Amino acid sequence: MLTVLESESSDNVPGNDGFRDAILSSPVRFGGRFPRSPGDFSCGSPLPMTTTPMAGFGPVQVYFGEKNGKYPDGNQVVIRGSDTLAAFDTPLVANRIGEVLAPVDLVMLSHAHEDHMAGLHRLAHAQVYVHEHDADAARSWPGLAAHYGLSPASLPAMHDKIVTEFHYVPRPDAIAYPDGHVWELGGVRIHAVHLPGHTAGHCALLVEPGGILFIGDIDLSGFGPYYGDASSDLAAFRQSLARLAGIDANVWVTSHHRGVYTDRARFAAALRAYAAKLDERNQRLLDLLRAAPRSLEELVHERLIYPPEYQEIWVVDAERRTIGLHLDELLAQERIRQDETGRYVVRVAS
Ligand SMILES: [Zn+2]
């Protein structure tokens, strides 16, 4: 679920983002834009041709979903070792690159959400890995429902939606991996880096050699971070953004929208702008509460993240959770307090 809304204007400024450097209209083989010499990682057979835009970085190919992977689509990452073919997540675009995905042996999920599992129904033969904190969500619908934390009345409609729109199937066979797990693909290694907050088990996946870092739903979008599910955590998200800034990489790939960064300075600037959204949201809440004390439900009604006219099955639950996390943070910082009616009030010094 997720960062559905996005400012078109902010993301379509030519030259504004690194991904524009890397999106190519036809398949590209290894080399070219790759910042290190990657060697030959092919499995001995040529890449299947596809009309889906893609970019190549050593052993990694990125297939871009519609609108550069904007939700509900995403960007498909495929990693070719000398003896194993792996995929990071399976967004909707996975269903349009059948020849590329069909021989995949391993799928490493960055986390469990419907838009990252939309091609798993095609890959019954593949081993699916997911971080141990998201494993229940990948393995069963009750697990995914608990992970979302939706109101019980919303669950049947949500199930119908993800089956219809995302080809949802649970993967009871999903294998749990811990932080720091390493996969060997033959001349290529993948390291799991636990970066929770979006979900409890959200991870980045680092491909070596090459330093290609898939950062999942830390998507650097203009919308900002999403942490509206039951397993989301604002404090963990802040820590993950700080940890991400310190990871040594050459290429950064997002699940959605921003696509690919090949320039560290541009990536760092985008990460700072993305992280700044957290404090901007605190400030917006403080401004609302300064105007008048409000209860949680009154704030949910007014909305912090999504426009009031935006209607989705999950949006009110996501607003409630997101606002609640910010209120908890502001309470802990003693910037707000609750009055005798339970409404939140700005402390004078804040
Ligand atoms: Zn997600």
- Give pLDDT, residue 45: 52
Distance 125 CA to ligand 1 centre (A): 24
User: What is the per-residue pLDDT for 14?
Assistant: 28
pLDDT of residue 2: 54
Q: Tokens in use for 24?
A: 């190519």
CA of 179 to the centre of ligand 1 (A): 18
CA gap 272, 242 in Å, rounded: 10
For residue 217, the CA-to-ligand 1 centroid distance in Å is 5
Q: Amino acid letter at 67?
A: K
The whole-number pLDDT of residue 254 equals: 97
Chain position carrying tokens 């209860």: 295
Separation of alpha carbons 141 and 172, rounded Å? 10
CB of 220 closer than 8 Å to CB of 274: yes
Handedness of CA 100, 104, 109, 114 (dihedral sign): positive
Q: Number of C-alpha atoms within 13 angstroms, CB side, residue 218?
A: 36
Asked, as a colleague might, if the bond just before 170 is cis with ω within 30 of 0, I would say: no
Cβ contact 262:35 at 8 Å:
yes
Ligand 1 centre to CA of 257 (Å) is 13
Find the 37 Cα to ligand 1 centroid distance in Å. Answer: 32
Structural contact between residues 60 and 32, judged by C-beta atoms closer than 8 angstroms: no
Tell me which amino acid residue 290 is.
R
CA of 348 to the centre of ligand 1 (A): 37
d(CA 62, CA 260): 9
For the chain, what is the radius of gyration of the CA atoms?
A: 20
Expressed in angstroms and rounded, the spacing between residue 111 Cα and the centre of ligand 1 is 7
Q: For the chain, list the domains and their CATH numbers.
A: 19-275 (3.60.15.10), 278-346 (1.10.10)
What stretches in the chain show pLDDT beneath 50? 3-44
Gap from CA of 114 to ligand 1 centroid (Å): 8
- How far apart, in whole angstroms, are the C-alpha atoms of residue 85 and residue 43? 8
Q: Find, among 205, 206, 207, 203, the residue nearest to 186 by Cα.
A: 207
Residue 112 CA, ligand 1 centroid: distance in Å? 7
pLDDT by residue (tens digit) across 2-16? 544 444 333 332 233
267 Cα: distance to centroid of ligand 1 (angstroms): 20
The whole-angstrom separation of Cα 154 and Cα 140 is: 17
Centroid of ligand 1 to alpha carbon of 227 (angstroms): 9
Distance (angstroms) between ligand 1 centre and the Cα of 198 equals 7
How many other CB atoms are found less than 10 A from the CB of residue 265? Answer: 9
The rounded distance, in Å, linking the Cα atoms of 264 and 239 is 20
- 251-271 per-position pLDDT tens digit: 999 999 878 999 999 999 999
The pTM of this model reads: 0.88
**Letter for the amino acid at 39?**
G
Are the C-beta atoms of 75 and 89 separated by less than 8 Å? no
How high is the pLDDT of residue 259? 85
How remote is the CA of residue 9 from the centroid of ligand 1, in Å? 23
Q: What angle do CA 212, 216, 219 make, to 5 degrees?
A: 100
Q: Which of 332, 331, 333 is nearest to 344 (CA)?
A: 331
Dist. CA 250 → ligand 1 center (Å) = 23
Q: How far apart are CA 140 and CA 78, in angstroms?
A: 25
* 311: alpha, beta or left? (left if phi > 0; alpha if psi -120 to 50): beta
Omega within 30 of 0 (cis) for the link into 209 = yes
For residues 3 and 216, the answer to whether their CB atoms sit within 8 Å is no
- C-alpha 293 to ligand 1 mean position (Å): 33
222-237: burial string, b at 16+ Cβ within 10 Å, e else: bbbbbbbbebbbbebb
Sheet strands side by side (includes 251-253)? 182-184, 189-194, 203-208, 212-214, 251-253, 260-261
